[in-house]
Homo-oligomer: A and B are copies of this chain.
Amino acid sequence: MGTALRFDIQAQQGEARAGVLNTRRGPIETPVFMPVGTAGTVKGIRFEELESADLDAKIILGNTYHLWLRPGIEVIKAAGGLHRFIGWERALLTDSGGFQVWSLGALRKISEEGTQFRSHVDGSLRFLSPEVSMEVQAALGSDIVMVFDECAPGQASYEETERSMNLTARWAKRSKSAFERLQTEGADTGHVDAEGLSGEQALFGIIQGASHVDLRRTSLEHTVNIGFDGYAIGGLSVGEEKPMMFEVIEDIAPRMPKAAPRYLMGVGTPEDLVEAVARGVDMFDCVLPTRNGRTGQAFTSRGKLNIKNAQWVNDSRPLDESCPCSVCRRHSRAYLRHLYTSGEMLASTLLTHHNLAFFLDTMRAVRQSIRSADFPKFRLEFTERLCANGE
Protein backbone atom coordinates (compact mmCIF):
# COMPACT_ATOMS: atom_id res chain seq x y z
CA MET A 1 0.00 0.00 0.00
CA GLY A 2 0.98 3.59 -0.26
CA THR A 3 2.14 3.38 -3.85
CA ALA A 4 -1.28 2.99 -5.45
CA LEU A 5 -1.93 6.71 -5.16
CA ARG A 6 0.22 9.78 -4.69
CA PHE A 7 -1.23 12.97 -3.26
CA ASP A 8 0.70 16.22 -3.66
CA ILE A 9 -0.47 19.35 -1.90
CA GLN A 10 0.60 22.34 -3.95
CA ALA A 11 -1.01 25.25 -2.13
CA GLN A 12 -2.64 25.74 1.24
CA GLN A 13 -4.51 28.66 2.70
CA GLY A 14 -5.79 28.22 6.22
CA GLU A 15 -7.03 24.60 6.24
CA ALA A 16 -7.98 24.72 2.55
CA ARG A 17 -5.67 22.67 0.32
CA ALA A 18 -5.17 22.58 -3.43
CA GLY A 19 -3.23 19.71 -4.89
CA VAL A 20 -3.06 16.80 -7.27
CA LEU A 21 -4.27 13.27 -6.68
CA ASN A 22 -2.14 11.05 -8.90
CA THR A 23 -4.07 7.91 -9.80
CA ARG A 24 -3.29 5.08 -12.18
CA ARG A 25 -5.76 6.78 -14.59
CA GLY A 26 -3.91 10.09 -14.45
CA PRO A 27 -3.75 13.21 -12.28
CA ILE A 28 -6.83 14.74 -10.67
CA GLU A 29 -6.70 18.28 -9.35
CA THR A 30 -8.18 18.73 -5.87
CA PRO A 31 -10.45 19.82 -4.29
CA VAL A 32 -12.52 17.67 -6.65
CA PHE A 33 -16.22 16.92 -7.08
CA MET A 34 -17.17 13.44 -8.31
CA PRO A 35 -20.46 13.10 -10.23
CA VAL A 36 -22.42 10.04 -9.12
CA GLY A 37 -22.83 7.28 -11.70
CA THR A 38 -24.93 4.86 -9.67
CA ALA A 39 -25.71 2.13 -12.18
CA GLY A 40 -22.83 2.72 -14.59
CA THR A 41 -24.27 6.00 -15.95
CA VAL A 42 -24.31 9.51 -14.57
CA LYS A 43 -28.06 9.79 -15.01
CA GLY A 44 -29.15 11.81 -18.04
CA ILE A 45 -25.66 12.68 -19.29
CA ARG A 46 -23.50 11.15 -21.98
CA PHE A 47 -19.87 10.35 -21.21
CA GLU A 48 -18.86 12.66 -24.07
CA GLU A 49 -20.40 15.55 -22.14
CA LEU A 50 -18.65 14.53 -18.90
CA GLU A 51 -15.35 14.59 -20.81
CA SER A 52 -16.07 17.89 -22.62
CA ALA A 53 -14.39 21.14 -21.59
CA ASP A 54 -17.75 22.23 -20.19
CA LEU A 55 -17.69 19.60 -17.43
CA ASP A 56 -14.33 17.80 -17.67
CA ALA A 57 -15.08 15.44 -14.79
CA LYS A 58 -11.83 13.60 -14.00
CA ILE A 59 -13.40 10.96 -11.76
CA ILE A 60 -16.91 9.60 -11.28
CA LEU A 61 -18.42 7.35 -8.65
CA GLY A 62 -20.05 3.95 -9.13
CA ASN A 63 -22.29 2.19 -6.60
CA THR A 64 -21.17 -1.32 -5.70
CA TYR A 65 -24.62 -2.20 -4.35
CA HIS A 66 -26.45 -1.30 -7.57
CA LEU A 67 -23.90 -2.78 -9.97
CA TRP A 68 -23.56 -5.99 -7.95
CA LEU A 69 -27.33 -6.54 -8.17
CA ARG A 70 -27.66 -5.39 -11.80
CA PRO A 71 -26.15 -6.23 -14.24
CA GLY A 72 -24.18 -8.38 -11.77
CA ILE A 73 -20.52 -9.05 -11.40
CA GLU A 74 -20.30 -11.84 -13.95
CA VAL A 75 -21.45 -9.48 -16.71
CA ILE A 76 -18.99 -6.77 -15.70
CA LYS A 77 -16.15 -9.28 -15.34
CA ALA A 78 -16.93 -10.67 -18.78
CA ALA A 79 -16.63 -7.14 -20.18
CA GLY A 80 -13.22 -6.76 -18.48
CA GLY A 81 -14.27 -4.51 -15.60
CA LEU A 82 -16.48 -1.48 -15.08
CA HIS A 83 -14.37 0.93 -17.16
CA ARG A 84 -14.68 -1.27 -20.22
CA PHE A 85 -18.29 -2.21 -19.57
CA ILE A 86 -19.47 1.40 -19.50
CA GLY A 87 -16.87 2.89 -21.86
CA TRP A 88 -15.11 5.28 -19.48
CA GLU A 89 -11.32 5.47 -19.30
CA ARG A 90 -10.97 8.10 -16.59
CA ALA A 91 -10.84 7.35 -12.88
CA LEU A 92 -13.63 5.57 -11.02
CA LEU A 93 -14.26 5.41 -7.30
CA THR A 94 -16.66 2.79 -5.98
CA ASP A 95 -18.38 2.88 -2.62
CA SER A 96 -18.58 -0.34 -0.62
CA GLY A 97 -22.33 -0.90 -0.66
CA GLY A 98 -22.35 -0.39 3.11
CA PHE A 99 -24.32 2.84 3.00
CA GLN A 100 -26.89 1.48 0.51
CA VAL A 101 -27.67 -1.68 2.49
CA TRP A 102 -27.78 0.37 5.69
CA SER A 103 -30.32 2.68 3.99
CA LEU A 104 -32.60 -0.32 3.37
CA GLY A 105 -33.66 -0.02 7.04
CA ALA A 106 -36.00 -2.81 8.10
CA LEU A 107 -35.14 -4.80 4.96
CA ARG A 108 -31.63 -5.64 6.20
CA LYS A 109 -30.09 -7.46 9.16
CA ILE A 110 -26.63 -6.53 10.38
CA SER A 111 -24.40 -9.04 12.19
CA GLU A 112 -20.72 -9.21 13.03
CA GLU A 113 -20.18 -11.14 9.83
CA GLY A 114 -21.92 -8.65 7.54
CA THR A 115 -25.34 -7.52 6.28
CA GLN A 116 -28.12 -9.71 4.97
CA PHE A 117 -30.76 -8.05 2.78
CA ARG A 118 -33.20 -8.58 -0.03
CA SER A 119 -32.34 -7.32 -3.51
CA HIS A 120 -34.61 -4.49 -4.67
CA VAL A 121 -34.25 -5.86 -8.20
CA ASP A 122 -35.44 -9.45 -7.82
CA GLY A 123 -36.19 -9.93 -4.12
CA SER A 124 -33.42 -12.51 -3.71
CA LEU A 125 -31.65 -12.85 -0.35
CA ARG A 126 -28.12 -11.42 -0.52
CA PHE A 127 -25.23 -11.09 1.88
CA LEU A 128 -22.69 -8.28 1.85
CA SER A 129 -19.57 -8.34 4.04
CA PRO A 130 -16.13 -6.74 3.98
CA GLU A 131 -14.83 -9.74 2.00
CA VAL A 132 -17.70 -9.74 -0.51
CA SER A 133 -17.50 -5.97 -0.99
CA MET A 134 -13.76 -6.18 -1.70
CA GLU A 135 -14.34 -9.01 -4.17
CA VAL A 136 -17.04 -7.05 -5.97
CA GLN A 137 -14.92 -3.89 -6.09
CA ALA A 138 -11.95 -5.87 -7.44
CA ALA A 139 -14.21 -7.25 -10.15
CA LEU A 140 -15.42 -3.73 -10.92
CA GLY A 141 -11.78 -2.67 -11.14
CA SER A 142 -12.40 0.79 -9.73
CA ASP A 143 -9.34 2.94 -9.11
CA ILE A 144 -10.36 3.85 -5.58
CA VAL A 145 -12.05 1.23 -3.39
CA MET A 146 -13.90 2.08 -0.18
CA VAL A 147 -13.85 -0.16 2.90
CA PHE A 148 -17.09 -1.82 3.94
CA ASP A 149 -18.46 0.20 6.86
CA GLU A 150 -21.55 0.59 8.97
CA CYS A 151 -23.26 3.93 9.23
CA ALA A 152 -25.12 5.26 12.28
CA PRO A 153 -28.06 7.68 12.02
CA GLY A 154 -27.35 11.37 12.62
CA GLN A 155 -29.24 11.30 15.93
CA ALA A 156 -27.85 7.97 17.15
CA SER A 157 -27.17 7.65 20.89
CA TYR A 158 -23.62 7.51 22.20
CA GLU A 159 -23.82 3.79 22.96
CA GLU A 160 -25.36 2.90 19.60
CA THR A 161 -22.80 5.00 17.76
CA GLU A 162 -19.89 3.51 19.73
CA ARG A 163 -21.02 -0.05 18.98
CA SER A 164 -21.41 0.83 15.27
CA MET A 165 -18.09 2.66 15.11
CA ASN A 166 -16.27 -0.31 16.64
CA LEU A 167 -17.91 -2.67 14.16
CA THR A 168 -16.76 -0.37 11.37
CA ALA A 169 -13.19 -0.60 12.72
CA ARG A 170 -13.29 -4.42 12.73
CA TRP A 171 -14.80 -4.42 9.22
CA ALA A 172 -12.08 -1.99 8.10
CA LYS A 173 -9.39 -4.48 9.18
CA ARG A 174 -11.17 -7.32 7.40
CA SER A 175 -11.62 -5.09 4.32
CA LYS A 176 -7.92 -4.35 4.20
CA SER A 177 -6.91 -8.01 4.58
CA ALA A 178 -9.30 -9.14 1.86
CA PHE A 179 -8.25 -6.24 -0.36
CA GLU A 180 -4.54 -7.09 -0.04
CA ARG A 181 -5.18 -10.73 -0.79
CA LEU A 182 -7.17 -9.80 -3.91
CA GLN A 183 -4.45 -7.43 -5.12
CA THR A 184 -1.89 -10.20 -4.69
CA GLU A 185 -4.14 -12.60 -6.58
CA GLY A 186 -4.54 -10.09 -9.42
CA ALA A 187 -8.32 -10.01 -9.05
CA ASP A 188 -8.47 -6.32 -10.01
CA THR A 189 -9.98 -6.11 -13.51
CA GLY A 190 -8.99 -2.46 -13.89
CA HIS A 191 -5.23 -2.87 -13.51
CA VAL A 192 -3.37 -0.16 -15.40
CA ASP A 193 0.39 0.26 -15.27
CA ALA A 194 1.05 3.80 -14.09
CA GLU A 195 4.33 5.64 -13.93
CA GLY A 196 5.52 6.00 -10.33
CA LEU A 197 2.53 4.10 -8.98
CA SER A 198 2.00 0.41 -8.27
CA GLY A 199 -0.93 0.24 -10.69
CA GLU A 200 -2.96 -1.43 -7.97
CA GLN A 201 -6.32 -0.27 -6.71
CA ALA A 202 -6.20 2.27 -3.89
CA LEU A 203 -8.16 1.65 -0.67
CA PHE A 204 -9.73 4.34 1.49
CA GLY A 205 -10.74 4.00 5.15
CA ILE A 206 -13.92 5.58 6.50
CA ILE A 207 -14.28 7.50 9.75
CA GLN A 208 -17.66 7.03 11.46
CA GLY A 209 -19.03 8.21 14.82
CA ALA A 210 -22.19 10.17 13.89
CA SER A 211 -22.25 13.55 15.67
CA HIS A 212 -20.19 12.42 18.65
CA VAL A 213 -16.89 14.20 18.18
CA ASP A 214 -14.92 12.06 20.64
CA LEU A 215 -16.12 8.87 18.91
CA ARG A 216 -15.15 10.43 15.58
CA ARG A 217 -11.65 11.02 16.97
CA THR A 218 -11.45 7.41 18.15
CA SER A 219 -12.66 6.19 14.77
CA LEU A 220 -10.03 8.33 13.07
CA GLU A 221 -7.35 6.81 15.30
CA HIS A 222 -8.52 3.23 14.56
CA THR A 223 -8.60 3.95 10.84
CA VAL A 224 -5.19 5.60 10.66
CA ASN A 225 -3.70 2.76 12.69
CA ILE A 226 -4.90 0.26 10.11
CA GLY A 227 -3.48 2.49 7.37
CA PHE A 228 -5.08 3.43 4.03
CA ASP A 229 -4.30 5.35 0.84
CA GLY A 230 -6.89 7.96 1.76
CA TYR A 231 -9.43 8.70 4.45
CA ALA A 232 -13.11 9.48 4.22
CA ILE A 233 -15.59 11.02 6.61
CA GLY A 234 -18.76 8.92 6.32
CA GLY A 235 -22.13 9.09 7.97
CA LEU A 236 -22.70 12.82 7.55
CA SER A 237 -25.59 14.45 5.71
CA VAL A 238 -27.78 11.57 6.96
CA GLY A 239 -30.30 13.54 8.98
CA GLU A 240 -28.20 15.53 11.42
CA GLU A 241 -28.44 19.36 11.62
CA LYS A 242 -26.09 21.27 9.35
CA PRO A 243 -24.19 23.09 12.16
CA MET A 244 -23.54 19.64 13.68
CA MET A 245 -22.15 18.39 10.36
CA PHE A 246 -19.74 21.33 10.14
CA GLU A 247 -18.75 20.91 13.79
CA VAL A 248 -17.67 17.32 13.04
CA ILE A 249 -15.84 18.31 9.84
CA GLU A 250 -14.12 21.24 11.54
CA ASP A 251 -12.87 19.03 14.34
CA ILE A 252 -11.96 15.92 12.36
CA ALA A 253 -10.67 17.05 8.94
CA PRO A 254 -7.62 18.95 10.28
CA ARG A 255 -6.71 15.90 12.43
CA MET A 256 -6.75 13.57 9.42
CA PRO A 257 -3.36 12.63 7.91
CA LYS A 258 -2.11 15.72 6.07
CA ALA A 259 -0.36 13.79 3.33
CA ALA A 260 -3.42 11.74 2.33
CA PRO A 261 -6.59 12.81 0.49
CA ARG A 262 -9.63 13.59 2.65
CA TYR A 263 -12.98 12.61 1.22
CA LEU A 264 -16.32 13.85 2.60
CA MET A 265 -18.88 11.27 1.47
CA GLY A 266 -22.28 12.26 0.04
CA VAL A 267 -21.98 16.02 0.63
CA GLY A 268 -23.49 18.40 -0.53
CA THR A 269 -24.76 21.74 -1.85
CA PRO A 270 -22.30 24.13 -3.54
CA GLU A 271 -22.03 26.15 -0.32
CA ASP A 272 -21.42 22.94 1.67
CA LEU A 273 -18.54 22.09 -0.66
CA VAL A 274 -16.89 25.49 -0.25
CA GLU A 275 -17.34 25.40 3.52
CA ALA A 276 -15.91 21.89 3.77
CA VAL A 277 -12.91 22.88 1.64
CA ALA A 278 -12.33 25.72 4.12
CA ARG A 279 -12.09 23.02 6.80
CA GLY A 280 -9.58 20.89 4.91
CA VAL A 281 -11.58 18.48 2.70
CA ASP A 282 -10.24 17.45 -0.73
CA MET A 283 -12.89 15.19 -2.32
CA PHE A 284 -16.67 15.18 -2.61
CA ASP A 285 -19.50 13.26 -4.22
CA CYS A 286 -23.19 14.05 -4.20
CA VAL A 287 -26.34 13.23 -6.17
CA LEU A 288 -27.74 16.77 -5.81
CA PRO A 289 -26.74 18.16 -9.23
CA THR A 290 -28.09 15.13 -11.10
CA ARG A 291 -31.11 14.27 -8.94
CA ASN A 292 -32.29 17.86 -8.58
CA GLY A 293 -31.72 18.43 -12.29
CA ARG A 294 -34.24 15.69 -13.00
CA THR A 295 -36.81 17.30 -10.70
CA GLY A 296 -36.48 20.74 -12.28
CA GLN A 297 -34.12 22.44 -9.85
CA ALA A 298 -31.13 24.38 -11.13
CA PHE A 299 -28.15 25.42 -9.02
CA THR A 300 -26.90 28.85 -10.07
CA SER A 301 -24.38 31.38 -8.86
CA ARG A 302 -27.35 33.32 -7.49
CA GLY A 303 -28.99 30.43 -5.69
CA LYS A 304 -31.49 27.73 -6.58
CA LEU A 305 -34.01 28.17 -9.33
CA ASN A 306 -37.13 26.05 -9.84
CA ILE A 307 -37.68 25.79 -13.59
CA LYS A 308 -41.35 24.84 -13.08
CA ASN A 309 -42.25 28.32 -11.81
CA ALA A 310 -44.66 30.28 -14.01
CA GLN A 311 -42.45 33.35 -13.62
CA TRP A 312 -40.06 31.95 -16.28
CA VAL A 313 -42.73 31.46 -18.97
CA ASN A 314 -41.39 34.28 -21.15
CA ASP A 315 -37.93 34.68 -19.62
CA SER A 316 -35.31 34.75 -22.34
CA ARG A 317 -32.38 34.68 -19.88
CA PRO A 318 -30.26 31.57 -19.42
CA LEU A 319 -30.44 29.62 -16.14
CA ASP A 320 -27.38 31.48 -14.90
CA GLU A 321 -26.18 34.62 -16.64
CA SER A 322 -22.63 34.08 -15.43
CA CYS A 323 -22.44 30.42 -16.48
CA PRO A 324 -20.44 29.58 -19.62
CA CYS A 325 -21.91 26.06 -20.07
CA SER A 326 -23.44 24.91 -23.36
CA VAL A 327 -26.96 24.95 -21.90
CA CYS A 328 -26.67 28.55 -20.69
CA ARG A 329 -25.06 29.62 -23.96
CA ARG A 330 -27.98 28.26 -25.97
CA HIS A 331 -31.25 27.89 -24.07
CA SER A 332 -33.60 30.23 -22.22
CA ARG A 333 -35.46 29.63 -18.97
CA ALA A 334 -38.66 29.91 -21.05
CA TYR A 335 -37.59 26.98 -23.26
CA LEU A 336 -36.35 24.86 -20.36
CA ARG A 337 -39.62 25.49 -18.51
CA HIS A 338 -41.55 24.43 -21.61
CA LEU A 339 -39.52 21.21 -21.87
CA TYR A 340 -40.04 20.44 -18.19
CA THR A 341 -43.79 21.13 -18.13
CA SER A 342 -44.17 19.08 -21.34
CA GLY A 343 -42.47 16.10 -19.69
CA GLU A 344 -39.65 16.11 -22.26
CA MET A 345 -36.59 14.14 -21.20
CA LEU A 346 -34.36 16.86 -22.66
CA ALA A 347 -35.31 19.00 -19.64
CA SER A 348 -33.57 16.51 -17.33
CA THR A 349 -30.56 16.23 -19.61
CA LEU A 350 -30.06 19.99 -19.91
CA LEU A 351 -30.66 20.81 -16.23
CA THR A 352 -28.35 17.98 -15.17
CA HIS A 353 -25.67 19.25 -17.55
CA HIS A 354 -25.91 22.79 -16.21
CA ASN A 355 -25.94 21.66 -12.56
CA LEU A 356 -22.85 19.51 -13.06
CA ALA A 357 -21.16 22.40 -14.88
CA PHE A 358 -21.95 24.66 -11.92
CA PHE A 359 -20.58 22.20 -9.34
CA LEU A 360 -17.45 21.45 -11.36
CA ASP A 361 -16.88 25.14 -12.21
CA THR A 362 -17.24 25.99 -8.53
CA MET A 363 -14.51 23.50 -7.69
CA ARG A 364 -12.28 24.92 -10.44
CA ALA A 365 -12.77 28.40 -8.95
CA VAL A 366 -12.06 27.03 -5.46
CA ARG A 367 -8.78 25.46 -6.64
CA GLN A 368 -7.76 28.63 -8.44
CA SER A 369 -8.53 30.83 -5.45
CA ILE A 370 -6.49 28.63 -3.10
CA ARG A 371 -3.55 28.69 -5.52
CA SER A 372 -3.75 32.48 -5.82
CA ALA A 373 -4.26 32.88 -2.06
CA ASP A 374 -7.71 34.42 -2.65
CA PHE A 375 -9.81 31.68 -1.10
CA PRO A 376 -11.28 33.69 1.82
CA LYS A 377 -12.42 36.42 -0.60
CA PHE A 378 -13.86 33.83 -3.02
CA ARG A 379 -15.66 32.06 -0.18
CA LEU A 380 -17.27 35.27 1.04
CA GLU A 381 -18.37 36.52 -2.38
CA PHE A 382 -19.58 33.09 -3.49
CA THR A 383 -21.77 32.69 -0.42
CA GLU A 384 -23.16 36.22 -0.66
CA ARG A 385 -24.10 35.77 -4.33
CA LEU A 386 -25.97 32.55 -3.58
CA CYS A 387 -28.49 34.52 -1.50
CA ALA A 388 -29.96 36.23 -4.59
CA ASN A 389 -32.26 33.18 -4.97
CA GLY A 390 -31.96 32.58 -8.68
CA GLU A 391 -32.99 36.05 -9.84
Contacts and interface: CB of A to CB of B under 8 A. Distances in A.
Interface string A40-57: 110111111000000000
A348 B350 contact: no
Contacts of A338: 39-40, 70-71, 75, 85
A37 to B, nearest CB: 10
A79 B315 CA distance: 8
A312 to B, nearest CB: 11
Interface residues of A, number: 36
A356 B350 CA distance: 20
Interface in A33-83: 39-41, 43-48, 70-71, 75, 78-79
Interface stretch (A207-215, A228-236, A239-247, A329-337): A329-337
A3 interface: no
Interface string A310-343: 0001101000000000100011101100110110
B344 A87 contact: no
Interface in A326-372: 326, 330-332, 334-335, 338-339, 341-342, 344-346, 348-350
B346 A79 contact: no
Contact of A332 (B44, B45, B79): B79
Pick from A45, A78, A313, A346 the residue with the most CB of B within 10 Å. A346
Contacts of A70: 338, 341-342
A86 interface: yes
Contacts of A40: 335, 338-339
Contacts of A332: 79, 85, 87
A46 B342 contact: no
Interface string A83-122: 0011100000000000000000000000000000000000
Given A75-B314, A348-B345, A335 B44 contact: no
Contacts of A86: 331, 335
A48 to B, nearest CB: 6
Contact of A346 (B43, B314, B331, B342): B43
- Which 5 residue pairs of A and B lie closest in terms of their CB atoms, listed nearest first? A71-B338, A87-B330, A41-B346, A78-B314, A39-B342
Interface of A: 39-41, 43-48, 70-71, 75, 78-79, 85-87, 313-314, 316, 326, 330-332, 334-335, 338-339, 341-342, 344-346, 348-350
23 contacts: A39-B339, A39-B344, A43-B344, A45-B346, A46-B346, A47-B330, A70-B338, A70-B341, A71-B334, A71-B338, A71-B341, A75-B334, A75-B338, A79-B332, A79-B335, A85-B334, A85-B338, A87-B330, A87-B331, A87-B332, A345-B345, A345-B348, A349-B349
